[in-house]
Structure 1
Amino acid sequence: MRALFLTLVALLSSVAHGQQGEAYMVVEANSGKVLMASNSVVQRSVASLNKIATGTIAVDWADATGADISAVIATVPPSALAIGGPNPLSLQAGDRLRLRDALYSALLGSDNIAAMTVANHVGQEILRARGREGDGVAAFVNEMNELGKAIGLSKTRFANPHGLELPKQKGYSTAADVAKLSIYAMRKPGFTFIVRQKDRQVTVTGADGAKRSFNVRNTNELIGEPNILGVKTGTTAAAGPCVSVSVERDPLVRDKPDGEKAVTPRRLIIVVLNNPDRFNRARGFISPGWASFDRWVAAGAPIEDRRKEILDVPNPR
Structure 2
Amino acid sequence: MRKFIVLFLAMATGLFAQETHMVVEAYSGKVLSASGASTKRPVASLTKMATAIVAVDWATATNTDISKQMVQVPAIAAQLGASSVGLRPGDTMTIRDALYAAMLSSDNVAALTIAHHVGTHILSVRGRGGDPVMAFVAEMNKLSKAIYAKNTLFVNVHGLENGPKPGYSTAADMARFAIQAMRRNAINFIVRQESRQINVSGRSYTLKNSNEMIGEEGILGVKTGTTNAAGACLAICMDRDPVVRTKPDGSKGVTPRRLIVVVLNSPDRYGNSRRYLRSGWAFYDSWLAAGAPVKDPKREILTIPPVK
TM-score range, shorter chain: over 0.9
* 1:67 maps to amino acid: T
Cα 1:94–1:82, aligned 2, differ >3 Å: closer, same or farther?
same
Match of 2:177, SS state, is helix
CA distance in 2, matches of 1:221, 1:267: 19
Which residue pairs with 1:148 in the alignment? 144
CA contact (8 A) 1:151 1:316 kept: no
Which one-letter code corresponds to 2:121 in the other structure?
Answer: E
Q: Does 1:251 pair with 2:242?
A: yes
Quote the offset at 1:162 in angstroms: 0.1
Q: Deviations over 1:20-43 (max 9, x none)?
A: 310011100000000000011000
Secondary structure at the aligned position of 1:267 is classed as strand
- State the match for 1:11 in structure 2: none
Unpaired runs of at least 5, structure 1? 1-13, 206-210
Matched, 1:23 2:14: no
Aligned to 1:208: none
Q: Which amino acid is the alignment partner of residue 32 of structure 1?
A: G
> 1:285 aligned to 2:276?
yes
Partner of 1:161: 157
The aligned residue for residue 96 of structure 1 is 92
Residues 30-41 of structure 1 correspond to what in structure 2 (within 5 A)? 30-41=27-38
How much does 1:213 deviate?
0.8
Structure-2 change in CA distance of 1:316 and 1:146 (3 Å): farther
Corresponding residue number in structure 2 for 1:305: 296
Partner of 1:124: 120
Q: How does 1:1-317 map to 2 (within 5 A)?
A: 16=13, 19-84=16-81, 86-205=82-201, 211-255=202-246, 261-315=252-306
Residue 69 of structure 1: how far off its partner (Å): 0.4
Instruction: Give the SS at the match of 1:253.
Output: strand
Name the amino acid aligned to 2:118. V
- Identical-pair percentage: 54
Deviations 1:147-181 (A, max 9, x none): 00011111100010000001324110000000011
* Secondary structure class of the residue paired with 2:64: coil
Q: Give the SS at the match of 2:260.
A: strand
Task: List per-residue Cα deviations over 1:57-87 (Å, max 9, x = no partner).
Answer: 1111111111110001001011122122x41
Residues 103-137 of structure 1 show CA distances to partners (whole Å, capped at 9, x for unaligned) of 00000000000000011111112222223232210
Question: Taking structure 1 as reference, are residues 83 and 169 closer, same or farther at Cα in structure 2, changes over 3 Å only?
Answer: farther
**CA–CA distance in 2 between the matches of 1:252 and 1:115?**
38
Quote the offset at 1:260 in angstroms: 5.1
**1:247 alignment partner, SS class:** strand
User: By how many angstroms is 1:195 displaced?
Assistant: 0.6
TM-score, with structure 1 as normaliser:
0.90
SS at match of 2:224: strand
Instruction: Report deviation, 1:298.
Output: 2.0
* Residue pair 1:244, 1:269 contacting (<8 A) in 2 also: yes
Question: How far is the alpha carbon of 1:258 from its aligned partner?
Answer: 6.8
Distance 1:146 1:112 in 2: 21
Check whether the contact 1:19–1:240 (CA below 8 A) recurs between aligned residues.
no
Measured in 2, the distance between the counterparts of 1:164 and 1:15 equals 15
1:64 is aligned with what amino acid?
A
Cα pair 1:54 1:119 within 8 Å, conserved: yes
Q: Which amino acid aligns with 2:228?
A: A
CA distance in 2, matches of 1:195, 1:17: 31
Cα 1:171–1:278 change in 2 (3 A) is same
The DSSP-based 3-state class of the residue aligned with 1:186 is helix
Q: What CA deviation, in whole Å up to 9, does each residue of 1:227-253 have, x standing for no partner? A: 000010000000000000000010122
Q: Return the offset for 1:261.
A: 3.7
CA distance in 1 between counterparts of 2:148 and 2:164 reads: 24
**What is the TM-score of this pair, normalised by structure 2?**
0.92
